Amino acid sequence: MLRHLPLLFATASAAVSPAAAMVGGAPADAAATAVVTIVGSRGNFCTGALIAPDLVLSAAHCTLPGATYKIVDYDAGRQPRLRDVRRVAAHPDFNVQGIMAHRASADVALLQLAAPMTGRSMAPLGAPRALAAGNSFTVSGIGVTVQGDGRSGGVVRSASLVATGQPGTLQIRLVDPATNNARPGLGACTGDSGAPVFEAQAGRATIVGVVSWSTGAGNTAGCGGLTGVTPLTLYRDWIAQTAGGWRVSLPPAP
């Protein structure tokens, strides 16, 4: 993975050393049943979350212009099939150069499916509330578990991470509390862009952000250090307005 680029743009065949990446093989929890895989016509793949039967929340840098996108679904026998996407919207204030430099940006996007996905769970958006350093979050994505090995991705896995520094309404930086960014630990990696970041509210797992970027330990290139998150605090109205314009009803927050 190239340093400072969001997770989407690293190629699976890049010549990089192994690192503990997204969750390091930890199984997904119940909330992760809403997680889906997004694939693009340029060969990229990202993570998204169903927030309505036909609506997927992801990162804006996962849906750049010039490509078409589909959602990967699996039948009862775990055979994949591609679901068509009717339309895509990225937040109008998104700035790709900002995300490349790990600066805060409106890295939020919605994808509407051509037909609803049945038999799948949906995840509600969390209610806006103050964040503090040390707060716990769960990140669930389909990214690789070994940096540079695309074959290690494609399975939903979850990691428990904590906020480092002073999180705010523009950006949250998460870290594995067991390693604290001093050595490789749990964190997002290639394919985890757009992954939902869950926080427990009123006894339910709610989405409060999406994954935008990662670093290696000690803020080096790679994975297993920091996981950069775009919180939804400032973008909930845009999500609701866009969904409403598409005649999609969102489940209420707890």
Domain boundaries, the chain: 7-28+124-231, 34-122+235-245
pLDDT band at 169 (very low <50, low <70, confident <90, very high): confident
pLDDT of residue 99: 85
pLDDT for res 131: 84
Does residue 91 carry a pLDDT above 60?
yes
CATH 2.40.10.10 fits 34-122+235-245, yes or no: yes
Assigned CATH for 7-28+124-231:
2.40.10.10
* Confidence bin at 19 (pLDDT 50/70/90): very low
> How does DSSP assign the chain, residue by residue?
--TTS-GGGS-TT------B-GGGGPBP-GGGGGEEEEEETTS-EEEEEEEETTEEEE-GGGS-TT--EEEEEE-TT--EEEEEEEEEEE-TT--HHHHHTT------EEEEESSPPPS----PBPPP----TT-EEEEEE---SBTT-GGG-SS-EEEEEEE-S---SS-EEEE-TTTTTSS--S---TT-TT-EEEEEETTEEEEEEEEEEEEEGGG-SSSEEEEEEEESTTTHHHHHHHHHHTT-PPPPP-
pLDDT tens figures, 122-143:
999 999 888 888 999 999 999 8
Q: How confident is the model at residue 240 (pLDDT cuts 50, 70, 90)?
A: very high
Whether the pLDDT of residue 211 is over 90: the answer is: yes
Fold agreement between 7-28+124-231 and 34-122+235-245: yes
- How far apart, in whole angstroms, are the C-alpha atoms of residue 155 and residue 142? 5
pLDDT bin (cut points 50, 70, 90) of residue 101 is confident
Global confidence as pTM: 0.89
pLDDT over 70 percentage in the chain = 86
Question: Which pLDDT band, with edges at 50, 70 and 90, does 2 fall under?
Answer: very low
Greater pLDDT, 4 or 60? 60
Mean pLDDT of 94-109: 90
